Structure formats: C-alpha cells, structure tokens
A and B are shown apart, each in its own frame.
Chain A
Amino acid sequence: MSQDIIQHQVIWNRLIAVVEEQAQALIRTAFGTATREAGDLSAGVFLPDGRMVAQAVTGTPGHVNSMAESVKHFLRAFPLETLQPGDVLVTNDPWKGTGHLYDITMVTPVFYHNQPVALFASTLHVVDIGGLGPGPDGHQIFHEGLFLPIIKLIHAGELDNTVLAIVKANVREPEQVEGDFLALVACNDVGARRLLTLLEEFALPDLQAVGEFILARSRQGMLDAVARWPQGSWSAEMWVDGYDEPLLLQARLTISPQGIHVDFAGSAGFVAKGINVVKAYTDAYTSFGIRCLIGADIPNNAGSLGVISIDAPEGSILNAPYPAAVTSRHIIGQMLPDVVFNCLRQARPGEVPAEGASCLWNIQLSGGHVLPGYDASSFLRQPRFSITSFSTGGTGARPQLDGLSTTSFPSGVRNVSLEILESISPVVFWRKEYRADSGGAGAQRGGLGQVIELSHGQDMPMELGAAWDRIHFPARGAEGGQHGAPGRVSLSTGETLSGKGRQIIPPGSHLIVETPGGGGLGDARQRDPVRLQHDLKNQLISHEAAVRHYHHNKTE
C-alpha cells in the first residue's frame, strides 16, 4: 500500500516530465514561427478511452482542452481495437482538432505487451496550409486551405507517401510543412518511448490505476478550488470590433458545488469572414480564463477540466458551424478570458484584473508576389518574403499591481528579434517603443501598448495582413479605472488603415501600428503618488495626462 502511494506520486511527476519532453522535442524541430516562438503547440498523453492524463504547459491556451477533446474524435473514427503498433493518425479538421486548418494534430497509440496502454497526441501550427494564407479574409473554410479529415498517416510504421504528396502539393512551403509533420510524429515517439520505460521500471501492466488516481485527485483539487469562491451566477458582455461591424459577446457564469458553467447565449451569430470560433476553441480560452484565477496550480487533464462546462449556441460566433471560415479565430477567442474575468470580478470585487489588449497584434507582411494595382511583371524581379512580427499591447491592471506593458496575454507569445526579421526580409523597422499614455488610468494603471513603425527597405509595395481588435472598443477599466487607449493603424502619409484584412502599403510609406493599452483598475486619484511620480519621471505618462486623469497638481 505505502509502496503504491509513493509510486503514484513519483509516476505523476514522471508523466508530466514525459509530456514536457514531448513538447520540447516539438519546439526544437518545428519550422513555423508560431510553434517555435509563440509556443503554439501542445502535447499530451491519454488513457485508451481518450481521457487526457497529462498535458505539457506550453505557450498557447488555445489548446488547453481542445486537443483533449480531439482524441475522442480520433477514437470514434478509428476505434482503438482497429489500430496496431506503428500507426499514426492525423487531422486538421477545425471542428475535430483545435480550431483552424493551420493546426495539425497527430495521435499515436502506444502498445505494451501487445496491449494498447495509452495515446500520445500533439498539435502544432504549420508554416502554411495553402488557401488564402493567414488572416481573416476567407468567407468559408474552402478558401482557407487544405482540409485533412481524420486519416491514418502511418500504417504500422509505413508512411503513407500519397498523403504527404497531396499535402506538399497544396502548401507554399512543402519542405517545411513536411518537416513539421515529421516533427509531430517524432515527438509522439519520444513520449511513447519514455512511457514504455516508465511501465518497465515500475513494473506496471498499464496506466489505468495511476491514471485514475491522477484524474480523481485533479478533479477533487479543482472542486476544492471552486468551493473557495462564492456560489452564484454573474453575467457580462463585451463588444468587439468584428470584421465589418461590431459583435457582442455575452456570458453567464455560474459557480455551484458541481463546478463552473459558462453559457454564451446571446452572443452574436457567425459571420462570412475568418474570425469565427469553433466550440472547442471557445472552450479552451474560456477554461483558461477561469483557471488563471481558480485552480491555477492544478495540472490540465480530464479530471480538472471536467469541472468546467461551457455552452455556446450553435450558429453563434463562438460555436461556428461547418463550413464557416475560422483561420483568425484567435481574435475573438483571446477576448474570452476578459469576458470570464468580468463575470468573476462581480463574485470577488477587488481580486480580478481589468480588460487588456488581449488580442495579439501580430504584424504579417509579405511581398515579392503579385499585388492588385501594381505591374505584375515587376514583382518577378523582387525578393519574395513573408514574415510575422509577433506583437502585443498592454494587459489590464491587476489588484495591487499595474498591468504589464507590451506583454502577451492570454496568449503566451514571444516576439521575434527585429534583427532576425530584417535579415530574412527587406523590411526595415524604424520604431518599437512604449506608447506613452496608452495604459488606462487607475489606482492600478493598465499596461502600455507600443508604437511600431516600419517600411519596405527598397521603396516597393508590400502587403499587410491585419487581424487586430480593440480599435473601436478599447480595453475597459474596472472598479473606477479608465479605459486603455484603443489601437490604431495608419500610414506615414496620414491615411488610417483597417484593423482587419489584407491591405497594401505603397512604396515609400511607413506603416505605423499603435497597439492598445490595458484598462485601469480603481480610481486614478487613489494612485500612490510615488508610482505616479515614477511614471512621470520615466515618461510613461505625460504631465498633461497626470493632471487630467490623476489630478496631479505639482508643476515640474
């Protein structure tokens, strides 16, 4: 008995290390910057019935439980008894995977003494998947690229070269995409090998007993964490920019002894642009928002995730049906933690952050291809390039703490070095610094956004792919705090650009991107004078703003 107790504890730690190693193997060999730099990937191990036992903590919450659900879809398509050692399954079905065609999910069953004992699954964001390319410009899923239903990629160790050939023929960077596919296969193998060593070392027939132990403990831990919050129901709504017109997100969050339920009834319907969100992705960001405040230290698995349930009406933008366009589902998905926070703040005033920029402000640039309005033949002589500069705004102010300036939340994105971007493209950056006065005023100030200015270094046109929000509806302050500055996109010639869709940057023009600031928390007049002075001294706020928002009356 005592042996089992100690062993279960040790094995739990080991399983978490195994999936971390699986994720690290993927990060080091992946090609897409989203995977590598933004940690846009996931890795996990599942019991034979499809329940997730452990998941690596990686950069994006978008996969928190979307991949967990995904394995159940795989098992419906390919029941475990039909699989054999060396089989590997794959899909990028947004409705059965993690929400858009760029995410490839791969599932590998593991056999021990000829019995299936577990499944390893991993997901990454590939460099390219054909179609229109990144951005919300598609009207339906068919515009957005190659769609792979759940299929077998490797049959008992034999790679299906036909599948790979089709994939490579449909994408812009065939070698890199192939590399990404093989990286997924390899990382699942790393996990599988480690698991077999573990079973051997601890003389276990399978993962069942320890799996049940982990799931039961996690579920109970999550229920205990929920029980420390008041019971009740709270509602919140939030307007977001949308593509052509503003959209309403509406939520009702209920805390009961059984867990937490979120219902998005009343939210806007889906649209004919690629900003729609599939339900699994809605679930992922919603549960992530909850977990930031409730049970943050509890590992993700079927036990802890099962305590949270989420409804979104079919046909709403948060439960978009096939064949809706979904490529840029992150724009709205990343707003959901703020919606959750707005509910939870009512349950526990003074303990929840204000809204932040939330949506990533990645700058997607390409050139050297034919652009409408320009002489097609001249482009053949230009360098072809496509880069993404991952960029962020400010986070919302937090209880006792200011918001984080220019920091990704809820995504865990890391930026890419400007010098690296300049070395692989003709783009030149002219500015990247804090945007003074963009943090919402408050006793706790919202985080600052940033200003980024860039141009094509050779006076040629290039294309911008915008997928941004909080231009028309800024991050709101809370509990008396003020709104953060809205985002803004313009050209050095004075023209204002749209926050969504493909647009051309004419030769010689500089693009100027001002990312949104986070909302403030509490009355600005209550701000600690020392911190106000610090902000002034460091020019994070102007003297004028200090007088206007903070009632600062000292002259310098």
Chain B
Amino acid sequence: MSGTKTPPPRNRIAVDVGGTFTDVVLLQDQTQYSAKILTSADAPERAVLQGIGDVLQQAGLNFAAIDLLILGTTLATNALIERKGARTALITTRGFRDLVEIGQEDRFAQYDVFLQKPQPLVPRHWRFTLDERIDAQGQIRIALDEAQVSALAQQLREQQIDSVAIGFLQSFVNPEHEQRVAALLRAQLPEVTFSLSSEVCPEIREYERLSTVCANAYVQPLVAGYLTRLQQQLTQRGLRVRPFLMTSGGGITSLETGIAEPVRLVESGPAGGAILASNIARQLELENVLSFDMGGTTAKICFIDRYQPQISRSFEFGRVHRHQKGSGLPIRIPVIDLVEIGAGGGSIARIDNLGRLQVGPDSAGSSPGPVSYNLGGELVTITDANAQLGLLDPAAFAGGKVELNVARAAAALTEQVGQPLGLDKDNAALAVTEIIAENMANAARVHASESGKQVDAYTLVAFGGAAPLHAVRLATRLGIQRVVIPHAAGVGSALGFLWAPVAYQAVHSFYQRLDHLDIAAVSDLLTTLSDQVRQLVQQADPAAPITLQRSVYLRYAGQGHEVAVDLPEGELDQEAVAALHQRFTLLYRQLYGRSLDHVAVEAISWTVTASTPAPAIAPPQTAPAVSGTPDRATREVYSAQQRKRIAVPVLARQQLVTGENYSGPLLITEPETTTWVEESFSAQRTAAGHLLLQRNTQQGEKP
C-alpha cells in the first residue's frame, strides 16, 4: 500500500450482520460506541437500521452525520448454508447437465462408506441444456440454436424460476453464447435475474466455475432485495454518503458490485478479524503476523505479510462435515485465506475408542454450553478445563454474564477424562488444553508449510474471547517469540471493516506457455482487466488514488497446482517475462526447496486487483486508567511447567502501566477475556493500549 494519507472521515460506522447478532460500531474520531442487536433474519435491514440508530443516539448524532458506512453481511452465506435462496435454474451445454453434481467424483473421507455428498444448489430437474459448443481455442463447434432458447424461456416461466445461472463449457475463452442466451432470455423474462459464468468467474475448471455461478444466482435476488431496501431506507433517514460492502477478499466495494456479484460477500465477517490484525501489524510495524481468532466454537488463523492478509481464490461452503476439506461446494472468489479449526471455548473433550483424548471439532456452543455454565451441558469443554486450571474467574466470566461452577467442571473432567487416562482433575484439565493447543499448532504448521512460511518468525496477534487464554501456549508450541493482545480484542470483525481499503480483484484464465508467451494478447487481457477493476473501484470511491496489483497463476507444465506470482510493474515485454520466470523460480524454491529449471512454465490465470490505500485511522482510545489502589489479587493456577498449583497475580488490563515490564506467571483480565501469561513470558502495555507478550530468552521452558 502506498503511504498516501487522506484525512480520515470523522464519524465512521461499521455493521456486521451475523447469523445471531448484528454488531454496530461507531468511531467518532477516537471515541468508540457499539451496539449488539439480534439479527432480524426476515428483513436484516431492520436490525441494521436499529443498530445504527442506537449508536448514533449514544453519540448524539443523526444519519446525516455519518461520513463512512461499511456493511458486512452473512446473508449470502446463510442463504447458501440453509438452502434458502431463490428458485434457481442452470443453463449449460447439452450433454453436461450433471457436471455440478458429479463434481470431482471423489469421496472426502477415505474410510467412510456411509458418507453423503453435498447436494448441488440447483436440482437436476432445473438444470437445462442447449445445443452449443465452443472449444478450448474459443472456436464455435456447434452454433447456438436460438429457437431452443425461446422454448426454454417458456419452461423457466412454467417452473417459476427467479434466478438463472448460465454456464457453458469453455465460456471463459469465448463468452459469446452465454451473452447471447442472457440477452434473449432477459428480453422474455424481465423479472428474472441472470448470472453468467463468464462474468462471475471467468476461470478454467468447469466444476468450480459452474458451482460459483450457481451460488451467485442462488443468492442474488435475496441480497439485491435487501441491499436495495436498505439503501432506500438509509437515504430516507438522511444518509449523505454511499455505503460500502465488505467482501470476502478483505476489500470493500460498492452496493452495485455487491448486487451484481453477491457471491463475493460470502465470509465477509471473518475477513474483518484479519483486517483488524493487519492494521495492528501496521501500527506496531510488524512485518510478519499470524492472526489468531478464537471464540466459542472455532479458531481461525491467517498469515499477514507486510500488512496484507494472505489471499486465496478458493473457498468451500456448506461443508457436510464442517472442518473436512472437500465436503462442501466450491466457489472461486478472492477470499482471505483463513484456516478454520474446530477449537473454541465450547469444544468438547472426549476419549475415543483407542483411549486417545480428542478435543473438538464439535462444540457445546452456548446452549447447553460447557458443564460449568450449569445450563444442562454434560460434556467437558475447553472452558471447563480452563476453569479447573484456575485461569478463569468464576464470577467474572464473559463480563459476568455467566457464573462458572468449577466443582461441576472438576467432577465432569475427572469422570470423562481423568479416570480413563489415569490423571487427576488438574492434569486432566491440562491434557485438554495441551491437546487443543497441539491441534491448533498442527493446523498452523501445515498451513505455514503449504504457504512456504517459517511460522516461528511470526508475531501472534490474538483476539476473540478465548484466544488470549491460549495464545502463549500456542506461541510456545510454534516457537513464536512474541504475542500481541490488541486493545478491544473482543469487538473484532466489525471494527476491522473500518480499516479495509476499497478493492476489487478480477481474474481471467488464459492458458499460455511462458517460453512462447503471446505478449500482445496477454497485454490486452491485462489492460481489459485493469480498466474493469479501476472503474469498479472508482465507482465506489472516485477521489482516492488507486494502486493496481497484477499477478499470474503459474506452474510447471504437467503439474496440477498453481502458485500466484506478482507481475513486474510496467509494460509486459520479453524482459518482464524473463523477470516473471525468475520470480516463479524463486518462489517455487522458497515453497518447495528446489526448482525444476528444465521444465517449461505455464500460465493458467491472470488477476488484477485495484485498491485504494488503507485508511490511516488511529485506534480508539482506551478507557482512562482506573485511578486509586490497584487490586493486587492472586489466584491459584495449576502450572503446566511446575505441575503444581501456584499463586498467580491477577491484574486488570487498565491497571498496567504503559511501558513497564510484568513477568509471568500473570493473569490480565478485562471484561470480555483473560490473558494468561505463563512463566516463560512477560507482558507490557504499549502506548496504544495493546498488550505485548515476549518470551523470556534466559529461561528454558518445556511445553
């Protein structure tokens, strides 16, 4: 990102519409106001408007005072997962009606003969075909029969189809047939929405492209309706500015783009957390950050290099088994590359058939919740283990909303974990937290090695209700020296939206060998893509300077997995192609330890991303330090290192004096979470209010 700084707008609002709650944050300069309202599933705009009204009232403002409004929504995600989208049809090439259902022909679990595959969004009886065929070179092999299109219009009408996905084979090479069919049908069915695979996902690989365009069509009427209604009502209430939408790729975009490509709004909530972490990385000038967000049911990790979260182009939704790769349906959109692990406060611990302790991925959630909630939960969870270890204040858990019953947790731990393993209740609790730390560390290690990164060179940024408790343990296992617990670690996603740049990424598959690259054709493609993304970003924010980033997905001829390589700046010429080849070789070596210098390199897809500079906004001010005598309490905690109970000082976060060093063991409490600083670490509060935990170098420790 360039260092250009535009004066930050004064009153900024971010709204995250989640499945259960709608979170609203208002930053008035450095002062933060927030509201949490139950999501109104039937008409999400109701809760959004109520929440915005709520924070405005707190600040004594009206809608006209809003300078920036950013909306995130899980509406698209929920419609996909709960299968509550439009009556959607797919129109595809004759002979290929079942591609979206056949998928990859594999089974996502090798040993599960009873598995069920995810059903496609469009059932077979709404998948229609037309005579047409374009080949890999873009030549028309079978011309489109327009008479068939008219007949099809009648069928779509009879079936009361609301939304149509059009996806022909090789349409990313030549979109002519898709465009013609859309034009003909639009004329006959003006009330129906159309999604074209050559527009939504002009990428090679028919299954992923068709699956993506079906998802887009499936959620489009719903999302378009919601956004249109919301826009009208906001305007009625006096909003002066055009609202932005948060996308899964970590950038914000205009309402128009959101309506055209709602599939890009999927997973925007979790993206907010990664953006928050990248902003903290920027503030603290940390070049390599691993963000670690752990809540009640899952943990999410993401690598952030030079303040940019890692981006991937593939995502799966509606997994039959939540954490099982391949058990969902693919969509190809730019998405922040978050690895999700079934590890949260509510994750259930049990002994399996082999006498092994397993923790997660299933969760007791908030109802019935952990055993210690005393709300009917019978199965031991991570929260129960933490309570037994003495890490949680039973009276002040989750801001005092739940009173923890430690005796119940202890009894359940003993019965469900301790007795089968031959451990006392403290060691049973410790085993649970060790296993979950190991699971998270394993996921981080595998992700690091997939991405060619050295995880121990990273700083862990931990936020979300459960992360500060587990962060030091995780860091120790990963060999990480430094942990940051950001200020306002609990608010997470919505706040993160405010630091997002306006951005849009376009992709187009265009197969080329680097050794005889058609420079003119590729240059044309890049120009087209650049114009497209620049226009979309300008439409959203006409004033901001725009940075373009171009990359290409390359592989050695014969391989099946590509790696993204940034294109050199400027015109594409022989020299630039040579430089590109060089970059690929270096990156490949970094990822896999060697390069294959005699094998040809081939390009599969090209992307261009336009973005504005990330807004330079200072973080909200912390509440003033509590004056008066600090309450220097201690709590008995079972120490993993010493294998005994020790007295550990407890400090409220605002009691920490900026810059002073506090060595572990230490518990630092705040309303929504607790930070556990083990013996091997010490803590400092930075001027901006973050907690910086450093590993003590002189002290040898064992995990």
Contact = CB atoms under 8 A, between A and B. Distances in A.
B38 interface: no
A297 B117 contact: no
Contact of A217 (B354, B434, B435, B599): B354
B46 interface: no
Interface string A398-413: 1101001111110011
Interface stretch (B62-70, B105-113, B483-491, B619-627): B105-113
Interface in A188-227: 189-190, 194, 201-203, 217-218, 220-221, 224-225
B435 A13 contact: yes
A29 interface: yes
Given A3-B643, A422-B136, A431-B96, A57 B446 contact: no
Contacts of B101: 405, 434
Contact of A9 (B141, B204, B435, B477): B435
Contacts of B113: 292-293, 296, 353, 398, 409
Interface stretch (B424-432, B524-532, B541-549): B424-432
A398 B110 contact: no
A490 interface: no
B450 interface: yes
A370 interface: no
Nearest to A61: B110
A418 interface: yes
B106 A408 contact: yes
Interface residues of A, number: 91
B19 to A, nearest CB: 29
B355 A457 contact: no
Interface in B646-703: 702-703
B471 to A, nearest CB: 18
B356 interface: yes
Interface in A388-426: 390-392, 398-399, 401, 404-409, 412-420, 422-423
A5 B205 contact: no
A293 B445 CA distance: 32
A59 interface: yes
Interface string A513-553: 00000000000000000000000011110000000000000
Contacts of A406: 98, 102, 105
A20 B446 contact: yes
B450 A9 contact: no
B111 A2 contact: no
A134 B125 CA distance: 39
Contacts of B110: 57-59, 61, 412
Given A33-B560, A404-B117, A179 B596 contact: yes
Contacts of B97: 433-434
B596 A433 contact: no
B107 A408 contact: yes
B236 to A, nearest CB: 45
Contacts of A291: 111
Nearest to A428: B135
A221 B98 contact: no
B354 A218 contact: yes
A293 B111 CA distance: 8
Interface string B179-201: 00000000000000000000000
Given A24-B449, A417-B204, A422-B135, A175 B596 contact: yes
Nearest to B446: A21
B310 to A, nearest CB: 16
B596 A9 contact: no
Interface string A296-338: 1110000000000000000000000000000000000000000
Contacts, number: 209
B35 interface: no
Interface in A1-50: 1-3, 5-6, 9-10, 12-14, 17, 20-21, 24-25, 27-31, 33, 36-37
B107 A412 contact: yes
Contacts of B135: 422, 428, 457
A186 B588 CA distance: 13
B560 A37 contact: yes
Interface in B150-172: 169-170
B204 A415 contact: no
A33 B559 CA distance: 8
A5 B442 contact: no
B422 A5 contact: yes
B508 interface: no
B95 A431 contact: yes
A84 interface: no
A69 interface: no
Given A13-B438, A224-B353, A406-B102, A203 B114 contact: no
A502 interface: no
B553 to A, nearest CB: 13
B442 A14 contact: yes
Contact of A6 (B95, B124, B427, B594): B427
A547 B617 CA distance: 71
B434 A390 contact: no
A407 B105 contact: yes
B421 interface: yes
Contacts of B599: 175-176, 179
A173 interface: yes
A203 B702 contact: yes
B423 A182 contact: no
A408 B112 contact: no
A176 B702 CA distance: 44
A433 B435 contact: no
Contacts of B643: 2-3
A430 B131 CA distance: 11
B556 interface: yes
A182 B594 contact: yes
Contact of B106 (A173, A178, A414): A414
Contact of A5 (B431, B592, B596): B431
A430 B353 contact: no
B203 to A, nearest CB: 9
A222 to B, nearest CB: 9
A127 interface: yes
Contacts of A433: 95-99, 102
A408 B113 CA distance: 11
A17 B424 contact: no
B106 A17 contact: no
Contacts of A127: 558
A551 B647 CA distance: 76
A450 interface: yes
A419 B558 contact: no
Contacts of A13: 435, 438-439, 442
A456 to B, nearest CB: 12
Contacts of A152: none
Contacts of A57: 110-111
Given A6-B434, A430-B133, A201 B592 contact: no
A6 B593 CA distance: 34
For B353, B560, B599, the residue with the greatest tally of chain A CB atoms inside 10 Å of its CB is B560
Interface in B100-150: 101-102, 104-107, 110-117, 123-125, 133, 135-136, 141
Contacts of A176: 558, 599
Interface string A495-525: 0000000000000000000000000000000
A9 B703 CA distance: 13
A453 interface: yes
Given A194-B445, A417-B206, A422-B170, 20 more contacts: A2-B422, A2-B424, A5-B421, A6-B423, A6-B430, A14-B438, A57-B110, A175-B596, A176-B558, A176-B599, A298-B354, A401-B114, A404-B117, A406-B102, A418-B206, A428-B133, A429-B95, A432-B95, A453-B95, A457-B141
Q: Which 4 A-B pairs have the closest CB atoms?
A: A431-B95, A17-B442, A221-B354, A538-B124
22 contacts: A2-B422, A2-B643, A13-B435, A17-B446, A24-B446, A25-B449, A28-B450, A28-B592, A175-B599, A201-B703, A221-B353, A221-B355, A353-B113, A404-B107, A406-B105, A414-B104, A417-B206, A428-B135, A429-B95, A433-B99, A434-B124, A457-B135
